[in-house]
Amino acid sequence: MNFLKVITEVVGALEEARIHYALIGGFAMAMRGNQRATVDLEFILLLEDLEKADRILVRFGYERTFRSENVSHYLAADGDWGRIDILHAFRGPSLGMLDRADMLTVEPGIALRVVQVEDIIGLKIQALSNDPSRLESDWYDIRLLVRAAREQGAPLDWELIGDYLDLFHLQDRLSELRNLHGSSDQG
């Protein structure tokens, strides 16, 4: 996948169409300070914008290969365009992710909306809860994100992370993450 080409052209078209989206997944981790190998782009997108986004993706040569209530997958025959996965935002937590996302610069003149670190952590918690085979790799990614925030001197919204952990009955992991970040359990 030619990431810069896809970001410039596809994300540019999403922006022009005023589609509510944000980058998630491995590339979002990289944008938030954790380099990670990835072969696709993943977005969260307002469900009501999905059909508009579908028309844009088809225009760029993508075909929707899967759609469920929660996700859509797109694949282009041309390897430069690669694969795009879309998480449908229509529930409270995912709508909040879209609201909190902010613009980050990929390189001069190229920027896109990226979810917050806490929301990447929330998506990782959901993924490992839904697929136990991901437990080790997703907890590793979560620890990387927390360490990167510590190294950057960035505070984390522990209440939001706690809410994500509570959703999946993992609240006992909060103190471990706070300790890794260097945040006291009291503040």
Instruction: Answer whether 43's CB lies under 8 Å from 22's CB.
Output: yes
pTM: 0.93
pLDDT tens for each residue of 159-180 = 999 999 999 999 999 999 999 9
pLDDT at 178: 96
Mean pLDDT over 87-95 rounds to: 95
pLDDT tens for each residue of 11-58 = 999 999 999 999 999 999 999 988 776 779 999 999 999 999 999 999
Rounded-to-integer distance, Cα 157 and Cα 100, Å: 12
pLDDT at 186: 43
pLDDT at 184: 58
pLDDT at 187: 42
Given a cut of 50, whether residue 141 has pLDDT beyond it is yes
Distance of CA 118 to the CA centre of its chain: 10
pLDDT at 61: 97
pLDDT at 37: 66
Rounded-to-integer distance, Cα 75 and Cα 65, Å: 7
pLDDT tens for each residue of 105-129 = 999 989 999 999 999 999 999 999 9
Mean pLDDT over 78-83 rounds to: 94
